[in-house]
Amino acid sequence: MNNRVATFFIVLYCLSTVLVPVFILNKLVFLPLFLVSISLLFFRPAITVAPLLVVSVFIYGYFLGVLSGADVDLGRQMVFSSSALLLIYFINNFKVDMSQAVKVTGAIFALLMCGLSFLLMLLPGSALGAELLNYYNVNELGFYGVRNFGGLQMFMLHHRSSPFLLVPLSLFFIDFLKLRKISALFFVVVILTAIVCSASRALMVMALASLSVLYFSHKSWSMRLLMMIFTVPVLAFTVVYLASETSMFSSGEQSNSIKIGHLVSFFNVIDWDMLIFGKGLGAYFFTEGYGVVVSQTEITWMDSIRFFGLPLTAILLVALFFPIRNIPLDSVSASSRLIMFLYVIMSMSNPVLFNSFGFLVVLWYWSIVMRGQESPVAQAQSIGE
């Protein structure tokens, strides 16, 4: 298998994971890639043990959950999702450009979401729009409607994988800053439109933060100063307006009150046993946010502590950011760390990390920081020679 064929299969996997994560197509594409990755793990020197470490933590959580009567279906699904990290061996061996794969996937995804959004907004009663929306809802691909933030109402077509768009948005923006490519700017606009149509506050805030920091880091000091003079007053006005005229930052807003309820319930039930060992993947607990017993909430890292305990949660976080000992310090790696950091921040209030498209983001990040790296065994052999 050459690089071109390997890249084709990875792009196909990315598209099936992001567009139709609940369909069998995702599994059919994943299986051969997984088998090749396992064979590479056994017969080639491993560049990293981070995937094995993360999967081991999830397997531990799964069996602990089975013993404690947790949601076994959720646990099994999360273990399966984490196994996608083993594809890093395939990606690294065939030198697949994950940034290109992510950009292609993000461009197609955003174009489809924008097309459907405009169809539903401009022709709400059309037969095509009704058919597509029915398909979207029946297969539980996301949410459609109007999101109300008090004085602010927003159209909402939120695909389950919408948070993934943060990564291709940032990559296309970097292309525009470095190469001045009009095509890159076009896809920045398209992806931003899809993000706004998703009506996800966390995604919109992280997108704005990513674009701002990336622009700031790629410009001269004079341009940075000019940017600060312009953006600080605008940002201050926007925050004051949203706080005073809408319920976006209000504790009474539905989404905010639910998350606050989750946190209150978590601190009510936490004990030393949970803090150290966890309760297992899919462990049930009563949350005031929903007023019912649930196995998962929107707050990823709170759930991680419930599932695995604090020590293993810390190990997961370290493994995600530092899959190898020597992380490159060049500008490309620095930009990827920023994007990954913002994505993890977003996961603090949204379940966007420990699932199929979340681990796809991790694979992209790992492929960047591992590029050009040799396995410890290969390094030792080259030194010996």
**Nearest of 369, 340, 8, 335 to residue 172 by alpha carbon:** 335
Evaluate whether residue 296 is within a structural domain. Answer: yes
Residue 75 lies in a domain: yes
Structural contact between residues 117 and 214, judged by C-beta atoms closer than 8 angstroms? no
User: Predicted confidence band at 98 (pLDDT cuts at 50, 70, 90)?
Assistant: very high
Domain annotation covers residue 351: yes
Alpha carbon dihedral 121, 123, 128, 129, in 10-degree steps, equals: 20
Q: How many domains does the chain have?
A: 1
Say if residue 220's pLDDT is above 50.
yes
62-77 CB burial, b ≥16 within 10 A, e <16: bebbeeeebbeebbeb
Max distance between CA atoms of the chain, in angstroms, equals: 71
Residue 383 has pLDDT above 90, yes or no: no
Mean pLDDT to the nearest integer, 249-275: 81
pTM of the model: 0.89
What one-letter code names the amino acid at 318? V
Domain range for 228: 3-377
Mean pLDDT along residues 311-329:
88
- The answer to whether residue 385 sits within a structural domain is no
- The radius of gyration of the chain from alpha carbons, rounded to an integer in Å, stands at 22
Structure tokens at 132: 């597509």
pLDDT of residue 315: 94
pLDDT tens digit string along 42-63? 888 888 899 999 999 999 999 9
Let me know: does 93 contact 367? Beta carbons within 8 Å: no
Q: Does the residue 384 lie in any domain?
A: no
C-alpha closest to that of 279 among 133, 20, 123, 65: 65
Residue 127 domain flag: yes
The three-state secondary structure class of 246 is: strand
State residue 44's pLDDT score.
82
Long-range contacts formed by 66-71: CB under 8 A, 24+ apart: 66/280, 67/280, 68/279, 68/280, 68/283, 69/284, 70/279, 70/280, 70/281, 70/282, 70/283, 70/284, 70/295, 71/281, 71/282, 71/283, 71/284, 71/295, 71/296
pLDDT value at 250 more than 70: no
The per-residue pLDDT for 245 is 64
Whether the CB-CB separation of 349 and 315 falls below 8 Å is answered with no
Q: Give the model's confidence band at 38: pLDDT under 50 very low, under 70 low, under 90 confident, else very high.
A: very high
Does a structural domain hold residue 383?
no
> Averaged over 348-364, what is the pLDDT?
90
Q: Which residues of 150-173 are buried (b: 16+ CB within 10 A; e: fewer)?
A: eeeebebbbbbbbbbbbbbbbbbb
Per-residue pLDDT tens digits for 161-202: 999 999 999 999 999 988 888 999 999 999 999 999 988 888
Q: How many CA atoms lie within 13 A of 242 on its CB side?
A: 15
Q: Is residue 382 part of a domain?
A: no
Q: Average pLDDT of the chain?
A: 85
pLDDT of residue 382: 37
